[in-house]
């Protein structure tokens, strides 16, 4: 028969265990509820997505979306095509050198990725200018020098504007337009597309199983969250680049 002291310890243990169990059930319920109603915040998505072993393909009309063929001049006046990126994991973006708003932040984020993966020959970046009339190879070269773009597989690409816009809108489904009233005269997305070694666009999925498709390029890791409450996704992108680099 238990003594008074032992009995007290026993009931205390049972009481504490019950509290832990109740709070555990409540926490699981809350997480499940937030996933179902889509209220998971960006940082939650990052944590959930980090558990994925493989990244999703982006499927349209029953087919995996692959980057279409392209061929443009880079900052060294060399012709670069989609074939030059085969066998590499790369980030694709659309920008212009005189952009007064988001492009400088996007470029700084890409330089951060460049420096993170500088030891990997299989990593690259494709930066397509949406103002090719101004952004000649000479202008792009000066831009590269100003921001510390040194990776041999980071090509700043220029060429026919219609072809670049078609690539953005029909190839990547990324906004790119010449708009007179927009800052700098052009309207474009601040998103990055992640492309695997075979040329397919890839991403992790959110808590509901939907692919994110793009990664937010307009917020730095240091900033964390912007004024609209949107979280940075550069940390997420680093994780996903590593996953694709490990794929054969």
Q: Annotated binding residues for Cu cation, as ranges?
A: 99, 103, 188
Q: Give residue for tokens 């003594």.
A: 3
Nearest to 44 by CA among 208, 239, 220, 215: 208
State how far the Cα of 233 lies from the Cα of 235, in Å rounded to an integer: 5
Alpha helices (H) along the chain: 4-37, 42-50, 103-116, 137-147, 161-166, 234-246
Query: What is the rounded end-to-end Cα distance, in angstroms, of the chain?
Result: 65
Task: Please report how many Cα atoms fall inside a 13 Å half-sphere around the Cα of residue 108, on the Cβ side.
Answer: 11
Q: Which two tokens stand for residue 66?
A: 């692959």
Burial code (b: 16+ CB inside 10 Å, e: under 16) for 88-124 equals bbbbbbbbbbebeebbebbbebbbbbbeebeeeeebb
Helix (H) or strand (E) holding 196: none
Length of the chain: 248
Residue ranges of the annotated binding site are: 99, 103, 188
**Torsion angle (degrees, nearest 10) of CA 170, 113, 80, 63:** -30
Give the rounded distance of the alpha carbon of 77 from its chain centre: 28
């Amino acid at each position: 028969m238990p003594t008074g002291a032992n009995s007290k310890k026993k009931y205390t243990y049972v009481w504490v265990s019950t509290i832990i169990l109740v709070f555990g059930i409540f926490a699981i319920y809350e997480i499940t509820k937030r996933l179902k109603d889509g209220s998971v915040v960006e940082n939650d998505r990052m944590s959930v997505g980090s558990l994925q072993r493989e990244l999703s393909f982006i499927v349209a009309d029953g087919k995996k979306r692959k980057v279409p063929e392209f061929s443009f001049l880079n900052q060294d006046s060399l012709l670069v095509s989609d074939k030059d990126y085969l066998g590499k994991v790369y980030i694709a973006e659309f920008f212009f050198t005189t952009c007064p708003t988001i492009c400088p932040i996007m470029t700084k984020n890409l330089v951060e990725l460049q420096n993170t993966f500088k030891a990997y020959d299989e990593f690259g970046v494709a930066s397509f200018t949406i103002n090719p009339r101004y952004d000649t190879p000479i202008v792009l070269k000066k831009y590269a020098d100003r921001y510390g773009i040194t990776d041999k597989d980071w090509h700043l690409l220029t060429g026919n504007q219609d072809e670049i816009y078609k690539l953005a809108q029909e190839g990547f489904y990324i906004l790119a337009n010449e708009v007179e009233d927009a800052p700098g005269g052009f309207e474009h997305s601040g998103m990055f597309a992640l492309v695997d070694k075979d040329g397919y666009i890839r991403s992790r999925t959110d808590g509901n199983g939907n692919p994110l498709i793009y990664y937010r390029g307009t917020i730095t890791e240091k900033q964390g969250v912007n004024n609209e409450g949107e979280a940075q996704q550069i940390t997420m992108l680093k994780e996903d680049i590593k996953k694709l680099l490990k794929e054969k």
